[in-house]
Amino acid sequence: ADMSIADLLPASDFEQKAVAYLDEKVPKWRDGFLTPNDEAGVRRRFRILAEVAGGEEPGLAALQRNLGVMCIGEDVSRAAARALVAGLGRDGAADVVRKNPGVLAIKASSLSGAGLTRTVAVADIIDFFLGPGKIFVELAKLLAYASAAKIIVDFIFIQAGLTPPWDSFSL
């Protein structure tokens, strides 16, 4: 990992919040295969995220949206960030990263032309389903639970040699 002057400075409030969030959600992150093994590594990855997301506050919000960004190597995320800024400008890149921080895992060479267009579209879709479209996600979960419950009840009735009451209805 590359050291920078920022590694020698005291951690910012938001860098401390990023470490605390990781501690809360993944207590054994220091032992992880893909996560940084020390706070300096978390701070470095957070700084890359914060820079492309448009600041430390949106960077923390992006981290909270997708903690998986802590598993993306610094070189990969830095290259992806540069490619996004080159293709979309600083504001466009920040918008995409805030919507879908996972874009920082995409190989930089895929973040141009049609690949960049797809990346923006996917970020918009993800943002919709995590924001105003969350109700649809919840309804889909409810439907899945109801379907699973019906399958289980049907199985119990059939195992007991009975016909489920809803199967005997006719119109």
Q: Note the pLDDT of residue 6.
A: 67
- Give 11's contacts (C-beta < 8 A, 6+ positions apart): 19, 39, 43
Look up residue 130 and give its DSSP letter. Answer: H
Amino acid 58 reads P
Q: Note the pLDDT of residue 171.
A: 60
Question: Who has greater pLDDT, 161 or 5?
Answer: 161
Reading phi first (left if > 0) and then psi (alpha if -120 to 50, else beta), residue 101 is in alpha
Q: For residue 1, is pLDDT > 60?
A: no
- Give 57's contacts (C-beta < 8 A, 6+ positions apart): 14
Residues of the chain with pLDDT > 70: what percent? 93
Q: Which of 100, 151, 94, 144 is nearest to 121 (CA)?
A: 100
pTM: 0.72
Amino acid 119 reads T
Q: How far apart are CA 75 and CA 118, in angstroms?
A: 22
The tens digit of pLDDT for each residue in 25-84 reads 999 999 988 999 899 999 999 999 999 999 999 999 999 999 999 999 999 999 999 999
